[in-house]
Amino acid sequence: MKGFFKSTAFKVVVIVSMGIGIIMLCTSFSPERNVFAEALSRTVLPFQKSVQSIINVSTDFYYQFKRKEELAQEIDSLKSEISELRDKIIDYNEIKRENARFAKYYDFKKENNTLKFVPASVVGVDSTGYFQSFTIDKGSDSGISKNDIVITENGAIGCVCAVNAVCSKVKSILSPEVKIGAADIETSESGVISGNTQIAQKNLTRMTFIPAQNSMKAGDIIATTGMSGMYPKNLKIGKVKSIEYDDHESSHYAVIEPFETLKTVRDVFIITDFQGKGSMVIS
Amino acid sequence: MNNVCKIFRYLIYTLEIYMLYSLQQASIFSFSCLGIAPVLVIAGFICISHFENEFTSMAFGILSGFLIDLSFGSVLGANAFILGIMGYILGILFSYYIKANFLSAMFFSSIASLAMTFVNFYIHQFIEGFLFMGLAGESHWNLIGMCAGLASLPVYLFNRSISYLTREKRNETKQS
User: Could you tell me if B45 lies within 8 Å of chain A, comparing CB atoms?
Assistant: no
Give the distance from residue A71's alpha carbon to the nearest chain B alpha carbon, in angstroms: 23
**Beta-carbon contacts of residue B46 (< 8 Å; ≥ 6 apart):** B90, B105, B108, B109, B112, B152
Which residue range forms the structural domain that includes residue B91? Answer: 2-25+36-171
Decide: A282 and A275 in contact? Cβ < 8 Å: no
The confidence score (pLDDT) of residue A245 equals 84
Q: Are residues A58 and A174 in the same domain?
A: no
Other CB atoms closer than 10 Å to residue A99's CB: what's the count? 10
User: Consecutive 10-residue runs of chain A (283 residues): their mean pLDDT?
Assistant: 74 86 79 74 84 82 80 91 92 88 75 81 73 84 91 89 88 88 90 86 88 87 87 89 83 90 86 78 52
Clarify whether residues A183 and A203 are in a common domain: yes
Q: Which of A92, A111, A130 is the last residue of a domain?
A: A111
- Asked if residue B163 is part of any domain, the answer here is yes
Instruction: State pLDDT tens for residues A103-129.
Output: 877 776 777 777 888 888 888 876 656
| Cross-chain residue pair B77–A24, CB shorter than 8 Å | yes
Of A12, A34, A51, the CB nearest to B26: A51
A134 backbone dihedrals φ, ψ, rounded to 5°: -155, 170
Measured distance between the N- and C-terminal CA atoms of chain B, rounded to whole angstroms = 14
Which pLDDT tens digit goes with each residue over A172-226? 998 888 889 999 998 888 899 988 888 888 889 999 888 888 888 899 999 998 8
Nearest by CB to A44, from B21, B80, B81: name it. B21
State how many domains chain B has: 1
CB contact under 8 A, A12 and B81: no
Judged by CB atoms closer than 8 Å, whether chains meet at B77 and A23 is answered as yes
The domain boundary, picked from A47, A80, A111, lies at A111
The bridge status of strand A267-273 relative to strand A205-208 is: unpaired
B77: contact with A, CB 8 A cutoff: yes
Residue B98 falls inside a structural domain: yes
pLDDT tens-digit series, residues B33-66: 555 666 788 888 888 998 888 899 999 999 998 8
| A203 and A141 belong to one structural domain | yes
Together in a domain, A106 and A124: no
Q: CA nearest A53 in B: which residue? A: B26
- Residue from A134, A160, A162, A137 nearest A262 by CA: A134
Does A147 fall in a domain? yes
Nearest to A20 among B28, B77, B88 (CB): B77
Angle at A222 between CA A217 and CA A226, to 5 degrees: 140
A58-80 as b/e, with b when 16 or more CB fall inside 10 Å? eeeeeeeeeeeeeeeeeeeeeee
Domain boundary among A68, A94, A111: A111
User: In this structure, is residue A27 part of a structural domain?
Assistant: no
Chain A residues with CB-CB distance to B under 8 A? 9, 12-13, 16-17, 20-21, 23-24, 27-28, 34, 36-37, 40-41, 43-44, 47-48, 50-52, 55, 59
Residues of B in contact with A24 (CB under 8 A): 75-78, 81
Domain extent, residue A62, equals 36-111
Q: Answer positive or negative: Cα dihedral of A241, A245, A250, A252.
A: positive
| Inter-chain CB proximity B81 and A59 less than 8 Å | no
Q: Could you tell me if B74 and B90 are in contact, meaning their C-beta atoms sit under 8 angstroms apart?
A: no
State the CATH number of the domain containing residue B166: 1.10.1760
In a domain, A31, yes or no: no
* A140 and A262 fall within a common domain: yes
**Is A51's CB within 8 Å of B88's CB?**
no
B11 touches chain A (CB under 8 A): no
Binning pLDDT at 50, 70 and 90, where does residue B137 land? very low
Residues A95 and A133 in one domain: no
Specify whether A262 is located in the same domain as A126: yes
- CA-to-CA distance for A79 and A86, rounded, in angstroms? 10
Q: Work out how many domains chain A is built from and give that number.
A: 2
Q: Within this chain, do residues A90 and A203 fall inside the same structural domain, yes or no?
A: no
Same-domain check for residues A166 and A50: no
